[in-house]
Amino acid sequence: MNIKPILLVAGEPNSVFLEIFFKVHKRNKFKSPLILIASKKVLSLQMKKLNFNKKIRFLNPQKLNSYKLNNKEINLIDIKYNPSRAFDKISSKSKNYIKDSFKTAIKLINSGYTFKLINGPISKKDFLNKRFPGITEYLADKFKKKNFAMLIYNKKLSVSTITTHLPIKNVSKNLNKKLIINKVNLIDNFFKKFIGIKKPRIGVAGLNPHCESTNNFNEDLKILKPAIKYLSTKGIKISGPFAADTIFLKNNRKNFDIILGMYHDQVLTPMKTLFEYDAINITLGLPIIRISPDHGPNESMVGKNKSNPLSLLKAINFLDKLK
């Protein structure tokens, strides 16, 4: 059986990603070969700093089909970057390095080599600037996809958002019935195809406190309810809108496989409170399965060798099951 490799774009060099990658790599129980896309120099410096010993196997991205890969060594595609030390402060210095890493991964994916991609945390401020609000949107643009969704997945409960990385003041004006319908269809199809749930139960959190508004225009009544009603007629198991401040209560959340929010922190804050690192960020709507560990660069923990590798482990395990 030919198992497709997993590409891992290391992302921000001054983050905890390589530390957690080292911890996960020690387990070496994955069927899928892991291919790290990162700087040889960064990798070597951090291996020494974090006292991790493993042989590195350098791969030519032009000749990947000629290799017989396993995970006894670190399979590395070297992306040029020259740090002066193992860790530094996050800055725009690494922007071109991260860009080249993604460019290499996307080229391999477009060639048909694999459909499995994990990326490490990236500083949105320094890498994306104002063009893209997040990596979700960055990759959707690179794959020329306008219909996409961000899913934070845990087998007990998942969350998704209608808008992604938007300031609160911009959320309301970006909501519309078509957008909700498109996002829900992506979520519903994903759970059917990859999770094996034929009728995923979707609960929708309202935009306004208690789904009420003192304004003349109430988004929950005028946008959310019609979208939910339409989707229900199409056979999707969806209900709401429910008050966002109570939908995550134990006796409420047990009724759903996914809770859909209108904006980022509305559902990610309770999700991370409940599961911490036991969740993964999956981008829906791409021609690949792209996952990122559900945490940021965590600059305050860099170099301390104390970071939790659970989210990366969950990401690899999820992709490892896919042929």
**CATH fold match for the domains 1-145+286-323 and 146-281:** yes
- Partners of 149 in beta bridges: 284
| Model pLDDT, residue 200 | 98
Of 39, 44, 28, 35, whose CA–CA distance to 4 is shortest?
35
pLDDT tens string 136-185? 889 999 999 999 999 999 999 999 999 988 889 999 999 999 999 999 99
Residue 1 has pLDDT above 60, yes or no: no
DSSP state of 177: H
Tell me how far the alpha carbon of residue 264 is from its chain's centroid: 13
146-281, superfamily in CATH? Answer: Isopropylmalate Dehydrogenase (3.40.718.10)
CATH no., domain 1-145+286-323:
3.40.718.10
Rounded percentage of the chain residues whose pLDDT exceeds 70: 98
- Write b or e for each residue in 125-154: b if 16 or more Cβ atoms lie within 10 A of its Cβ, otherwise e: ebbbeeebbbbbbbbbebbeeeebbbbbbe
Question: What are the residue ranges spanned by the domains of the chain?
Answer: 1-145+286-323, 146-281
pLDDT tens string 266-278? 999 999 999 988 8
Q: Which residues contact 44 (CB under 8 A, 6 or more apart)?
A: 56
Cα-Cα-Cα-Cα dihedral sign, residues 290, 296, 302, 307: negative
